[in-house]
Amino acid sequence: MSDLFDQPPAEKAESSSAHRPLAARMRPRTLEDIVGQDHVLGLGKLLRRAIEADRLSSIILYGPPGCGKTSLAEVIARTTRRAFDRTSGVLSNVAGLRQALEAAKQRRLVAGRETILFIDEIHRFNKAQQDVLLPFVEEGAVTLIGATTHNPFFFINNPLTSRSKIFQLEPLSPEAVARLMRRSIASPEGLGHLKIAMDDAASTHLAAVCEGDARRALNALEIAALTTPPGPDGVIHITRAVTEESIQKKAVVYDHDEDEHYDTISAFIKSIRGSDPNAALYWLAKMLYAGEDPRFVARRLVILASEDVGNADPRGLSVAVAALEAVDFVGMPEARIALAQATTYLATAPKSNAAYMGLEAATADVKEGRTLPVPRHLRSTGSKRAAQAFGHVGYQYAHDFEGHFVDQEYVPTEKIYYVPSSQGYEEVIRQRIAHWDELRKAARRKKPPPAAGA
């Protein structure tokens, strides 16, 4: 481990650029070169301001492969006046880490120069290695930049995360990936020495199937450019068929913001609602293969679990929410397994939309102006004296009664909003409500009639 940037970084990059992969040659050199991540690097954003002012404190960059974590660290290295060391959670050990940290501490004491320590794949450090970092980060001997594809709140020690700002980077959009490819084709450092014509269909396909991973897209572009013979005019023509071959993934008809996108998710939802797990799995496979955001699919499953399964199987919502969490926790491609489990569970679960329909009916009443006063005995009581003064008395605590049930008015209307079906667990709910209705009728038969003139 050494001060890689004591020599100007640009010189180091140029010394071996001819032998580096396209993705490495096209790494951004300035903040303006970085594509995407405007939510943390846009003008006026905290992280950008800290980098430009060289006031960066310890940070952890969390995001999927190819979203720009290492590139951002290298941009910081180029703009900072601090020494810059780097290592990896795969390669480093405790002894090497201690050596680098002590060197940073001495550099600060002797030369007054701060050090940024970049640790790629920091989640691979075990607890002992992470504990070694803690006192140096705490006293400011180093400014830590950790990069991880794993949720730092699960894989990095709490004391370390509490002393670092965590920035979540997102997968690059297809538009951002396409922009990077166009830049690479035109750049002298990229493929500018070749005459390349890339079809729009080829660019769209490659940008979509790389799933937000810029490295993957540029590697495939380089393979396509270097293995496709030029035509008679000397131009390398990259078609969609060429990109399919270079990335080993066939294109499917799927536009991410137009009809095919909406038609496919509609077919997916309606197949689950219609209790056809086979059809649902096919549409799920198509979406994931085409590069659909798995979080979008997971969110739709959460909605469906309440809208279409509801209380017929209350566990459906838990399964869907767990799948959503698994997508963020595990990431693709393994997250597709959790999505398949949630899809088949919901497709084969008993169905009911009674809770949702009940809410719609109640909302319609509210919208149409049928707002009802809260009964006095249900209003907030505050102190006992205030409750008596305002007449907010008479509430009966249900747990004081047999079966934890007591007949009292909860809303001044007899309208029924929730009508449970006989599907699955909702049949149990239906019987329970029928039992309570009988108890209410019995209680009301026992009540004395109101006094004359009341």
Tell me: do 238 and 320 sit in the same domain: no
Q: What's the token pair of residue 103?
A: 């060197």
Structural domain includes residue 253: no
Per-residue confidence (pLDDT) for residue 365, from 0 to 100: 83
The structural domain count of the chain equals: 4
Q: Which of 320, 348, 376 is the last residue of a domain?
A: 348
Structural domain includes residue 353: no
Residue 62: name the closest of 153, 162, 150, 157 by CA: 150
Tell me: do 160 and 24 sit in the same domain: yes
Tell me: do 57 and 85 sit in the same domain: yes
Per-residue confidence (pLDDT) for residue 449, from 0 to 100: 57
Structural domain includes residue 183: yes
Tell me: do 162 and 178 sit in the same domain: no
Per-residue confidence (pLDDT) for residue 113, from 0 to 100: 87
Q: Which of 322, 348, 374 is the last residue of a domain?
A: 348
Per-residue confidence (pLDDT) for residue 180, from 0 to 100: 93
Per-residue confidence (pLDDT) for residue 191, from 0 to 100: 93
Tell me: do 113 and 208 sit in the same domain: no
Q: Which of 168, 193, 211 is the last residue of a domain?
A: 168
Per-residue confidence (pLDDT) for residue 393, from 0 to 100: 64
How big is the chain, counted in residues?
Answer: 454
Per-residue confidence (pLDDT) for residue 2, from 0 to 100: 42
Structural domain includes residue 354: no
Per-residue confidence (pLDDT) for residue 328, from 0 to 100: 86
For residue 116, the enclosing domain spans: 9-168
| CATH code of the domain covering residue 283 | 1.20.272.10
| CATH code of the domain covering residue 66 | 3.40.50.300
Structural domain includes residue 252: no
Tell me: do 62 and 196 sit in the same domain: no
Structural domain includes residue 452: no
pLDDT digit of tens for each residue in the chain (454 aa)?
A: 444 334 444 444 444 455 789 999 999 999 999 988 999 999 999 999 999 988 889 999 998 888 999 999 989 988 888 888 888 888 878 888 888 899 889 888 888 888 999 999 999 888 888 888 988 988 888 999 999 988 888 889 888 999 899 999 988 988 999 999 999 999 999 999 999 999 998 898 888 888 788 998 998 999 999 999 999 999 999 998 888 887 765 545 555 555 677 888 889 999 999 999 999 999 999 888 877 889 999 999 999 999 999 999 999 999 999 999 999 888 888 899 999 999 999 999 999 999 999 999 888 888 887 777 778 777 776 656 555 656 666 777 788 888 888 788 788 888 888 889 899 999 999 998 888 888 888 888 776 655 554 4
Per-residue confidence (pLDDT) for residue 258, from 0 to 100: 54
| CATH code of the domain covering residue 367 | 1.10.3710.10
Tell me: do 51 and 162 sit in the same domain: yes
